[in-house]
Amino acid sequence: MPPLDLTLVLAATRDMGIGLNGTLPWTGLRKEMAYFARVTKRLPPHAPPPALNAVIMGRKTWESIPPRFRPLKGRLNVVISRSFIDTPATPSDPDSEPVKTSSLEQAVAYLQGRVNEGGVGRVFVIGGGQIYEESLRMKGCRRVLLTRVEGEFECDTHFGLRLEEGEGNGWVRRSKEELDGWTGEEVPGGMQEENGTRYEFQMWEKVE
């Protein structure tokens, strides 16, 4: 059986800074957040409703989401914490509670079963830093949806992979047309600007 396909979703500075004090280093990027919501909700053609996409996150990322917005609606939320010791169980209402797992490996095994049953479409990893690091080591990690944020921002958490053209690290940036095709929408091209912060939507894929 092929490994579960994982897509990492993140916003990062040129230095791959992704967080500060448990939250995002920037504020006010409403259109960027709306893009994140649309892309992580939109089902692929092979998994029609009532399937859901899944979002995997660590406990700190879960706790950083305002309570009124969690679980993230319209997606199966999978939260990882070493304090969770029970076998993962599918919630009766995914919009009211998450799946609780004790490790990334357990989360992936659980979701592999759901994908095989047709209950889950795509699987996204949305943070934080340690979960990204572990995901990058998994065979199924093939894709990064990156929002490249311009400007100087203080960060205390960084993504463990430099995504730059010509790095020769086995990752290549795909074209806007390929990004549009994968996400299922016409993604705004080039630099965008909100509240004085400039950013660009990108897709990177691992090449064997």
- Mark 17-30 as b/e (b = at least 16 C-beta within 10 Å): bbbeeeebbbeebe
Gap between the Cα atoms of 29 and 32, Å rounded:
5
For residue 139, tell me if it sits in a domain: yes
Question: d(Cα 168, Cα 73) in Å, to the nearest integer?
Answer: 38
The C-alpha atoms of residue 111 and residue 121 are separated, in whole angstroms, by 10
Structural domain containing residue 93: 6-206
Number of domains in the chain: 1
Domain assignment present for residue 1? The answer is no
Q: pLDDT tens for residues 62-116? A: 999 999 999 999 999 999 999 998 889 889 999 999 999 999 999 999 999 999 9
Query: How many alpha carbons fall within 13 Å on the CB side of residue 111?
Result: 32
pLDDT digits over 119-134, tens only?
999 999 999 999 999 9
Tell me if 142 is assigned to some domain.
yes
**Domain for residue 84, yes or no?**
yes
Confidence at 208, pLDDT banded by 50, 70, 90: confident
Q: What is the CATH number of the domain that holds 74?
A: 3.40.430.10
pTM of model > 0.85: yes
Indicate whether 37 belongs to any domain.
Answer: yes
